[in-house]
Amino acid sequence: MVLLGTIVNGLAIIAGTMLGKVLTKIPEDIKKLVMQGISLAVIVLGMQMAFKSEEFLIVIGSLVVGAILGELWRLDGKLNDAGLWLERKIGAKEEGSVAKGFVTATLIFVVGALAILGSLDSGLRGDHTLLYTKSLIDGFTSLFLTTTLGIGVIFSAIPVVLYQGFIALFAVQIEKIVPEAIMNSFIKEMTATGGIMIMAIGLNLLGITKIKVANLLPAIIVVALIVTGLYYMEGLFF
């Protein structure tokens, strides 16, 4: 079943959130320290991903163009609007609580190489190992995020399933259309670009910055365009 890994990932996020909701009675000092620990781990993970780049100018250029597009398209605002809409639907008492959990968790779970590589493996080879690994990580992360950010984390399962499911379903077509060299280069530079976004999420969680990370998401599309353009330019001139 092509979507098995994706479905398990979504269920892991839901299960982690429900368990986290039960554990919300943990003392505030412990929750605060745990959240700070997660934030630091997220920053370190982002740094490790950022160092995967082989052409860092691609990463910089993608972030610049991506930020411009994200601001013009107001992606951060739209993602927050979706969270606020969910708040109204479930009748949340504290305004902004669901939106924050939804947006933060969605960005953490969607931005990263595991989401793409795992979905491709599911679609091409029926191998769900990577997505099972991601499910375990996302499950524990959603548990701890829920203890501080609330029930909004559970709704991040929706974009995760849609995003990874789309890649898994069209994996065969992607492999046929995209040359292996482009895919390998894209994954490296996308991982680095996503790593910087994940670092920004960690800094936001610590309260050090207020970066609109969602507005940087178009950078991933820009990475694909730059990598593809450079590949074909090299073929023409070398």
Both tokens of 135, joined, read 């499910």
Mean pLDDT value of segment 128-135:
94
The pLDDT of residue 38 is: 83
Q: Residue 89 burial by CB count (10 A; 0-12/13-18/19+): exposed, middle or buried? A: exposed
Please give the span between the terminal C-alpha atoms of the chain, in angstroms, as a whole number.
Answer: 43
Nearest to 79 by CA among 45, 59, 105, 112: 105
Identify the residue whose tokens are 């994996």. 171
pLDDT in tens, 179-190: 989 999 998 999
Q: Do 219 and 65 contact (CB within 8 A), yes or no? A: yes
Between CA 199 and CA 44 the distance in angstroms is 7
The conformation of residue 112, written as its DSSP 8-state character, comes to: S
What would the DSSP string read from start to end of 116-180?
Answer: HHHHHHHHHH---HHHHHHHHHHHHHHHHHHHHH-GGGGGGHHHHHHHHHHHHHTHHHHHHHS-H
Residue 24: which H helix or E strand, with range? Answer: none
**pLDDT band of 174, cuts 50, 70, 90:** confident
Q: Do 102 and 152 contact (CB within 8 A), yes or no? A: yes
- Average pLDDT, whole number, for the chain? 90
pLDDT in tens, 95-120: 567 888 999 999 999 987 789 889 99
Q: Where are the domains of the chain?
A: 4-237
Mean pLDDT value of segment 54-70:
96
Question: How many other C-beta atoms are found inside a 10 Å radius of the C-beta of residue 198?
Answer: 24
